Amino acid sequence: MYRLLVICLLCCVACQEKEPCDYIENYYQDVYKAELAYWEKDYQTAYDLLKKVESRCGLLNQYITREPEMMAKLSIKVGKPQAAFPYIERMLKEGMSFDSFVNNDTYTILHEYEEWRYLERNATQFATEFEEGINQELREEIIAMNMLDQAVRQKPIDYIQMAKVDSIHQLRVKEIFREYGYPTAKMVGKDNRAIGERVELRTLFFHLDDTTYFKPILLKMIRDGEAPAYILGTMLDSRQRSRRVYDYGIYDNADSSRILDLKNLDKRRISVGLPPWGLKKKVDSLRRAYYSNQY
């Protein structure tokens, strides 16, 4: 009886749901370190860091970092090519085209595996299911909001009209948050910048000013892994443009002389999910150098 009781207790513990991840405390900083290691070609370190994060929280698929794609490439680079397939399948299910993998030499080594043929057979279905899951009405509305946000800022600027548009957009974003939460790629699809379709909210948040309302909401969304880590720092720094000094160093053209309380900058950045300032600049530099060499 005692043995049976112990077994039941162990099973109950195993069946308990995993504690929600605090992404600010347990995710972003290790991902940023992994991203730096990746661009520095220290692939084993990057792989180990991301696997550790994955075991704690699961991986997000952030707009620029694209953790599953990085893990697929790292799996190949550390000699575990078949481990790349679950990450590729996830990316296909989250809107990435199969051609992106077919036309990338990094993945050529995978063509010999049956898993590759499975993905090839099912890629169209994955794409269809992703498209069917998009809230097209909300997507079109956010695209229109982004377009109007920029249109009212074309010269000559009517500042009264611009302020009116920003006020309307702020009210609507609050409604969207209450009804849907943060509009992710799964909900509204991805940007299609080739035809001017932007569904990212970052540009809008440059121009929204109700920080009292949005700060706690965005901070919780970032902590829960629901909103992009850059969004709160973007909003808060954008409110300081007239002063030209900033708390979070969001703007690339803001040097150290334009940062308030520079010695505590990284502490502030980390508290809202951003990478340390120097790390970000190093990653940006390595990324730009890589892509400039591709053309």
Which of 84-88, 185-189, 208-212, 241-245 has the lowest average pLDDT?
241-245
Tell me the pLDDT of the chain averaged across its residues. 93
User: 121-135 burial by CB neighbour count: b if 16+ within 10 A, else e?
Assistant: eebeebbeebeeebe
Contact (CB, 8 A) for 70 and 35: yes
pLDDT at 221 over 70: yes
In which band, very low, low, confident or very high, does the pLDDT at 195 lie, cut at 50, 70 and 90?
A: confident
Assess whether pLDDT exceeds 70 at residue 15: no
Task: Compute CA 161 distance to the chain's CA centroid, rounded to the nearest angstrom.
Answer: 32
Mean pLDDT of 252-257: 91
pLDDT-derived band of residue 291, with 50, 70 and 90 as boundaries?
confident
pLDDT band for position 295 (cuts 50, 70, 90):
low
Q: Which of 122, 103, 43 is nearest to 77 (CA)?
A: 43
How many angstroms separate the CA atoms of 237 and 197, rounded? 25
4 confidence band (pLDDT: 50, 70, 90): very low
Residue 179: closest CA among 126, 141, 128: 141
The neighbour count for residue 53, using CB atoms within 10 Å, is 24
Q: Is the pLDDT of residue 187 over 70?
A: yes
Percent of the chain with pLDDT over 70: 94
What is the band of 196 on the pLDDT scale with cuts at 50, 70, 90? confident
Mean pLDDT in residue range 163-192: 97
